[in-house]
A and B are shown apart, each in its own frame.
Chain A
Amino acid sequence: MKTVVIQNESGLHARPCSHIANMVKNVAGDVYLIKEGKPYNAKSIMSLMGMGVTKGTALEIECADPVVEESLYQFLSNLSE
């Protein structure tokens, strides 16, 4: 499981959330982002936006597929406006 700290000024707004949901929507099995121990469905834009991620929030990525996990990690670490 990988952990990433969000550096983006505005946290996770609609655009990155929709990007993430699109990235994982066809992945077999569940994909979760975990914030403070609570899992959020990464296939759901509503659930992602509902996390309330701000700059500095640490997220864990839970995904059975290591390739998808890595691309999520890359995307979340390189977020910019």
Chain B
Amino acid sequence: MEILKGIAASEGIGIGRVYLKVEAGPSFYEAKSAAEELAVFDAAVLAVAEDLKSLVESTRERMGAQQAAIFEAHQMMLEDPEYAGSIREAIEGGMPAPEAVNQVTGMFAELFKAMEDPYLRERAIDIQDIGRSLIGVIKGEKRFNPERLVNAVLVAEDLTPSDTALLSKDHVKAIVTVVGGATSHSAIIAKTLGIPAVMGVKEALSQLTDNSQVIVDGSTGEIFCQADEATYNAYQDKQKQHEAYLETLKVYIDQHTLTLDGKAIEVSANIAKPAEAKGAMAAGAEGIGLFRSEFIFMDRHQAPSEAEQFEAYKEALEAMAGKPVIIRTMDIGGDKQVSYLGMEKEENPFLGYRAIRYCLDHEAFFKTQLRALMRASVFGKLRIMVPMIATVAEVRAVKALLEAVKSELRSEGIAYSETVELGIMIEIPAAALKSAQLAKEVDFFSIGTNDLTQYTLAVDRMNANLSELYNPMDPAVLSLIQMTIANGHAAGIWVGMCGNASGNKTMIPLLLGMGLDEFSVSPASVTEVRKAIMHLSATDLRALANEALGLESAEAVKTLVDHWQSQ
């Protein structure tokens, strides 16, 4: 038995057979007569068209019409008379089918690459994508279609958004990737779907063999290959226990979160795409605590229009049926980049030109988002949240823009809700330290612990060498959290948290003791966090939280809480 170790990225145990997702290299192909090659090509077009059809349908269902449009364009390109026609001509002229596809695809890709318009230049990627699929089918190589997988453990270098678009727990039992960590895009998707995942397993592609049985423990980050019977049985039991445990959590889906001492808490969900709101609702979320709007801006070649954004926000608001939805304005920069915004590569992107700093400099761009948000506000209970606030002046600038947008809408006779709350993320230490001043300007705070921790401790959360230093339980981070909550309450506003820490079992008692009002977690954790909160009393925890603030280290805090919980 061999054990590989990686970063535990999504809880649970997955047992299945390895599916290695690797880029196909060149392989031998034996060409036949022109007529036969032509038949092979036509069959390949049909097969790829079939794949695209199901991809369009399930993408539309899961991620909305905008994302599906990408694959609809692929369909049209595949059936294009010029493209397919040129390939047929080449085959009729005696060229083997794969070579003909390769050559014609290359020709069209070059044509697009030479264009002035950056959007059209990038279409070369789509054409190459189609060419690759066709050649794969012609050569009989396996095609990646997660909907056809059975009990699979998906092993890949990394997963792209189009890979994750079709993932579901029914087909994929676990995910293992070479790159990425607990806060990467793939990890967030895995958590949202409730699929166990281990990331950052450097030797995954070389050590794991296709179709071999493996056990993935997403809670410890361990992967067991060629497990002996005892281990296999033990993990199967563990998996059953975990599933039985999840079953017991179901009673918490429809409950309102009340602490033992009667304080009402909101347990809401973090989502990245409007379509995920349905899942959050089904998981029992009392609202959306963080809708990361930047995912609407990513994986595309030009900024989404006001109409497109409006549709996305409206979809999320309608799905939540009147429950509050916090939509965070675009937070791009740092680890998230998009080509069309023309942001320069920076020495220190996390300390750089990102999120609200960029938005306030690009008023027209930011106003498009604010307009789309306000127009959507009549379809539910919208709360707008602004990331990366460091100064009071930034908040006032946002408020001025929002007022301008409202008066534009009024003069155009477009309806919007008058009760939209405006809040800010507290993720920069300066904002936590100035939370008393900031609280006078807004309707709520949401503490972003991922960035607050990295900025407070000066630890790059992407740097694996520093992962031991990165800990939201450090008393310095806890002090900033406590200060933010106290200052928020003193000004009469509510305070929530949307970072990873709000779902952490050790942190929950401390946060309740400090008076946190809202916990926003991944949809899969909603019931578990609700259950934990319903067994605690906020008043009783005040002393524990105060004691934690005076300790010397994160380890000491953990020991304190563990000891308290064991009593």
Chains A and B belong together in one complex: yes
Which residues of A are in contact with B by a Cβ distance under 8 Å?
A: 10-11, 13-15, 18, 21-22, 41, 43-47, 49-50, 52, 54, 81
Closest 4 CB pairs of A and B: A44-B82, A45-B76, A14-B73, A46-B80
Determine whether the beta carbon of B80 is less than 8 Å from that of A50.
no
Determine whether the beta carbon of B112 is less than 8 Å from that of A50.
yes
In the complex, identify which listed stretch (B117-125, B168-176, B489-497, B541-549) lies at the interface while the others stay far away.
B117-125
A49 contact from B72, B81, B116, B120, Cβ within 8 A:
B120
B102-145, CB under 8 A of A: which get 1 and which 0?
00000010011001110110010001000000000000000000
Judged by a CB distance under 8 angstroms, whether B302 is at the interface is yes
By a CB distance below 8 angstroms, the chain B residues around A41 are 81-82
**Other contacts beyond A13-B119, A13-B120: 14, CB < 8 A:** A10-B117, A10-B119, A14-B123, A18-B76, A21-B80, A44-B81, A45-B77, A45-B80, A46-B77, A46-B83, A47-B80, A47-B82, A52-B116, A52-B120
By a CB distance below 8 angstroms, the chain A residues around B116 are 52, 54
Judged by a CB distance under 8 angstroms, whether B31 is at the interface is no
Q: Answer whether A50 and B111 are a contact pair too, CB < 8 Å, given A41-B81, A41-B82.
A: yes
The total of Cβ contacts below 8 Å across the A-B interface reads 50
Determine whether the beta carbon of A49 is less than 8 Å from that of B123.
yes
Secondary structure call for the B interface: helix
- Shortest distance in angstroms between B75's beta carbon and chain A's nearest beta carbon? 9
CA distance in complex: A8, B461 (Å): 43
- Shortest distance in angstroms between B25's beta carbon and chain A's nearest beta carbon? 28
Q: Answer whether A21 and B76 are a contact pair too, CB < 8 Å, given A46-B127, A50-B112.
A: yes
Determine whether the beta carbon of B108 is less than 8 Å from that of A54.
no
CA distance in complex: A13, B301 (Å): 11
Which residues of B are in contact with A by a Cβ distance under 8 Å?
A: 69, 72-73, 76-77, 80-83, 108, 111-112, 115-117, 119-120, 123, 127, 302, 305
- Shortest distance in angstroms between A44's beta carbon and chain B's nearest beta carbon? 4
Determine whether the beta carbon of B120 is less than 8 Å from that of A44.
no
Q: Which of B69, B72, B81 has the most CB of A within 10 A?
A: B81
CA distance in complex: A14, B115 (Å): 14
CA distance in complex: A47, B112 (Å): 10
CA distance in complex: A10, B305 (Å): 12
What are 17 A-B contacts defined by CB distance under 8 Å?
A: A11-B117, A13-B119, A13-B120, A21-B76, A21-B80, A43-B81, A45-B76, A46-B83, A46-B108, A47-B80, A49-B112, A50-B108, A50-B111, A50-B112, A50-B115, A52-B115, A54-B116
- Shortest distance in angstroms between B415's beta carbon and chain A's nearest beta carbon? 22
Determine whether the beta carbon of B73 is less than 8 Å from that of A18.
yes
Q: Answer whether A15 and B69 are a contact pair too, CB < 8 Å, given A41-B82, A45-B76.
A: yes
Q: Which of B80, B111, B115 has the most CB of A within 10 A?
A: B80
